[in-house]
Amino acid sequence: MNFSNTLAIAIIIGLASAAYGYFSTKKKKPLRTPRKMEIHDVIMFSQAKEPELIRSQFSRNLVNPSMDRLLSYLNLTRHSLDICMYMITNCDIAHLIHKLHSRGVKIRCIVDADMAYCTGSATKGIEKQGIELRWMKSTNLMHHKFCIIDANYDSIDSDVIPFVMTGSLNWTTQGLNGNWEDVLVTSKPIIVHQLHMEFEKLWTQFKAIDK
């Protein structure tokens, strides 16, 4: 092999790997902000008296600092959000759910059948947006209160670490502003996995809402 042949081959290999690099980074494009960090936190709602309210970037209303933290964790969602929540009435959370939906996040929502259309329920609005919603008609309560962020998509970018939020908190204004509640936030894989499996199980058992 002479020098010019070797040079030609080197150029071809160079171009090919540059093209490969270009296309493989292109594939990762949907990712807006890398989210590589492990997350472990507890959000405490412990208002014995009137909580101090702050301006939140996620809401037009003034909210308490714990609520602002909860919303900022929710806003980290990049691909998928699976919600399993006894009751959703809080309009700030509902508003952010709509925003995530319009940003292209794949959202699935499981709610309690009796609570779904109670006064002030955000369920109707969520359903109107075209977000998939399921419930089970039962005398038992669907009393879970958790959500799973970014566990439900075919991961090619390992930049996004899934996490869950779970605790005593209903996503209701009463729960968010009046009660003593806790929300555990964790990306611990064994915890995320177990809640994800539970969600998938309920998702197949529960039915789409028919009126």
Ligand X SMILES: *[C@@H]1O[C@H](CO)[C@@H](O)[C@H](O)[C@H]1NC(C)=O
99 is catalytic: no
143 is catalytic: yes
Name which of residues 42 to 71 contact ligand X (CB under 6 A): 57-58
Among 74, 84, 87, 111, binds ligand X (CB under 6 A): 87
State the minimum distance, in angstroms, from the CB of residue 164 to ligand X.
Answer: 19
Closer CB to ligand X, residue 162 or residue 175?
Answer: 175
Q: How big is the site for ligand X, counted in residues (CB under 6 A)?
A: 12
State the minimum distance, in angstroms, from the CB of residue 63 to ligand X.
Answer: 13
Among 2, 5, 33, 158, binds ligand X (CB under 6 A): 33
Q: Residue 172: name the closest of 164, 185, 181 by CA.
A: 181
- At 205, is the secondary structure helix, strand, or coil? helix
For CA atoms 53, 55, 60, 64, give the dihedral sign.
Answer: negative
Closer CB to ligand X, residue 127 or residue 181?
Answer: 181
Calpha distance 203→157 (Å, rounded) = 25
Calpha distance 83→198 (Å, rounded) = 12
196 is catalytic: no
- At 76, is the secondary structure helix, strand, or coil? coil
Listed in sequence order, the DSSP H helices in 75-180 are 91-102, 123-128, 173-177
Q: Which residues bind ligand X (CB under 6 A)?
A: 32-33, 57-58, 75, 86-87, 170, 172, 174-175, 179
The residues that are catalytic are 143, 145, 150
